[in-house]
Amino acid sequence: MKFIRNILKNPRSKKDGFFFTELEKILGFKPKQKAYYRRAFTHRSMNKKNEDGMPINYERLEFLGDAMLSAIIATYLFSKSPHGDEGYLTKMRSKIVSRSYLNMLGQELKLVNLVQSKIPNNNFGANIYGNLFEALIGAIYLDRGYLYCEKFVFKTLIKPYVNIETLEGKITSYKSLLIEWCQKEKKALHFNTYEDTGNDSIKHFSVKLVVDNNVISKGRDTSKKRAEEKASKRAFFALQKEITSST
- Catalytic residue numbers read 66, 134
3-state secondary structure the chain: CHHHHHHHHCHHHHHHHHHHHHHHHHHCCCCCCHHHHHHHCECHHHCCECCCCCECCCHHHHHHHHHHHHHHHHHHHHHHCCCCCHHHHHHHHHHHCCHHHHHHHHHHCCHHHHCECCCCHHHCCCCHHHHHHHHHHHHHHHHHCHHHHHHHHHHHHHHHHCCHHHHHCCCCCHHHHHHHHHHHCCCCEEEEEEECCCCCCCCCEEEEEEECCEEEEEEEECCHHHHHHHHHHHHHHHCHHHHHHHC
Residues in Cβ contact with 76 at an 8 Å cutoff, skipping those fewer than 6 apart: 158, 162
Cα 28 from chain centroid?
21
Amino acid in the structure at residue 6 = N
